[in-house]
Amino acid sequence: MTGLRGGAHGGGAYDDRTYGDGTRAVRAGLPEPAKNEPTLPGPVFAAHFHLPGEPTGPYTYGRDENPTWTHLERAIGELEAPGKDVQTLVFASGMAAISAVLFSQVRTGDVVVLPDDGYQALPLVREQLTAYGIDVRTAPTGGNAQLDVLDGARLLWIETPSNPGLDVCDIRHLVTAAHAQGTLVAVDNTLATPLGQRPLELGADFVVASGTKQLTGHGDILLGYVTCADAGLTASVRRWRKIVGAIPGPMEAWLAHRSLATLELRADRQCANALAVAEALRGRGGVSGLRYPGLPDDPSYKIASAQMRRFGSVVSFTLPTRARAEGFLAALRLVDEATSFGGVRSTAERRGRWGGDAVPEGFIRFSAGAENPADLVADVLHALDESAA
Ligand SMILES: *Cc1c(COP(=O)(O)O)cnc(C)c1O
């Protein structure tokens, strides 16, 4: 395929560690400029590729590889591990990526450690793993409690910051303990994005994420990815993708790549907005359990500021009752009541309505968008007052 830059493992000119995040984001994964070609080649819609004679790659059948994925995979790899030789695999969703790592790496009789306060579909994954004879142990994200249940584990799964509780754990510390006894470590990097945290640099074997959230940031596509530096581990995840076929469409992959160019701009505004909202909510009547890893008095702040470069767009807090939380959500004008997070338009929801998370009835997960900070803060405070009346 013409126009693809770098070797088989990426390693392009723009993953240089000396460039700033914005520079790397706008150039990530782009092919070498070629006369009369677009900067970012359009989506390649192909179920199969011309393939006379011996069936050799890179592009044979659309479930295995697609040039639009290749560009996006290089881009994500450049952001997750600048200057490093890594491979990225894109998936149809974050859950497809998570399942691909877990189900490709563990066998009957293995021990897996999962967070007990992570993404709401993890309990379903746990049930499925257990049904296959895998011993699943769980631990909370904060306080490095994973260490107590790590003994003999094949794989440690970390989600930091955790969704929706926003606890943070020390990735490097846990990786060191895990590797000392031969345990693999996967980190769900959804909340942080690669511009907020680089788990591979902290020693993790796999970084896994939903690209549905802040990575792509417009609330219009589902996507997932796995990035890994080990060729053997990558091959086993790639094989799983081929078996299960949980692949993204070329249009989704292309839209995701297009969105990466603004990742730094979005992340900077959204993080600033999240901090502004958290600061505005701090100490307000009726608000308890306020969490944002970027607030200096947050329990997550110390570790977060040591291992993260941005603190994400999500703020969580609890209002006294379910009715007060519903009234608050209804009174917001700039914030849509919706699930998911990380989009350019602020969203919020009463997380307890799903029944999956261990949270109080009045618990709100708030995702700061890219609105002007003064407008957003004013809207939030107005809704808080109105719901109290
Ligand atoms: C949303 C989310 C997922 C699942 O991603 P999908 O793209 O919805 O499948 C996994 N982990 C975390 C932390 C998430 O927030």
The minimum-distance atom of ligand 1 relative to the CA of 159 is 13
Output the ligand 1 site: residues, CB below 6 A: 93-95, 98, 119, 159, 163, 188, 190-191, 210, 212-213, 222, 224
**Nearest C-alpha to atom 11 of ligand 1 is from which residue?**
119
Pocket test for ligand 1, best of 159, 160, 188, 210 (most atoms within 8 A of CB): 210
Cα dihedral value 328, 329, 334, 335, nearest 10 = 130
**Is pLDDT above 50 for 179?**
yes
- 130 in helix, strand or coil? helix
Q: Atom 4 of ligand 1 has which residue's CA nearest to it?
A: 94
Kindly give the distance from the C-alpha atom of residue 222 to the centroid of ligand 1, in angstroms, as a whole number: 9
To which H or E segment does residue 114 belong? strand 111-115
Per-residue tokens: 167: 């606890």
Q: Does residue 10 register a pLDDT over 50? A: no
Protein residue closest via CA to atom 8 of ligand 1: 94
Quick one: pLDDT at residue 7?
A: 39
Nearest residue by C-alpha to atom 7 in ligand 1: 94
What integer pLDDT is reported at residue 13 of this predicted model? 54
Centroid of ligand 1 to alpha carbon of 285 (angstroms): 32
DSSP label at residue 361: T
Q: Cis omega before residue 250 (within 30°)? A: no
Share of the chain above pLDDT 90, in %: 93
pLDDT at 14: 54
Q: Rounded distance, CA 292 to CA 269, Å?
A: 15
* Residue 248 alpha carbon to ligand 1 centre in Å: 15
Spacing, Cα 164 to ligand 1 middle (Å): 11
Model confidence at 17: pLDDT above 90 = no
Atom of ligand 1 nearest to the CA of 222: 7
Segment 214-266, tens digit of pLDDT: 999 999 999 999 999 999 999 999 999 999 999 999 999 999 999 999 999 99
33-66: burial string, b at 16+ Cβ within 10 Å, e else:
eeeeeeebbebbeeeebeeeeeeeeebeebebbb
Ligand 1: residue of 122, 125, 163 to mutate (most ligand atoms within 8 A of CB) is: 163
pLDDT digits (tens, 9 = 90+) for 60-110: 999 999 999 999 999 999 999 999 999 999 999 999 999 999 999 999 999
Full set of structural domains in the chain with CATH:
16-260 (3.40.640.10), 263-388 (3.90.1150.10)
Residue 19 CB coordination number (10 Å): 17
Supply the pTM of this predicted model. Answer: 0.95
Note the residue count of the chain: 389
Question: Which atom in ligand 1 lies closest to the alpha carbon of residue 98?
Answer: 10
Residue 205 near residue 230 (C-beta atoms within 8 A) = yes
Please name the residue that has the structure tokens 């359009």: 42
Yes or no: say if 276 and 377 are a contact pair by the CB < 8 Å rule: yes
For residue 340, how far is its CA from the centre of ligand 1 (angstroms)?
A: 8
CA proximity to 39, closest of 49, 47, 28, 50: 28
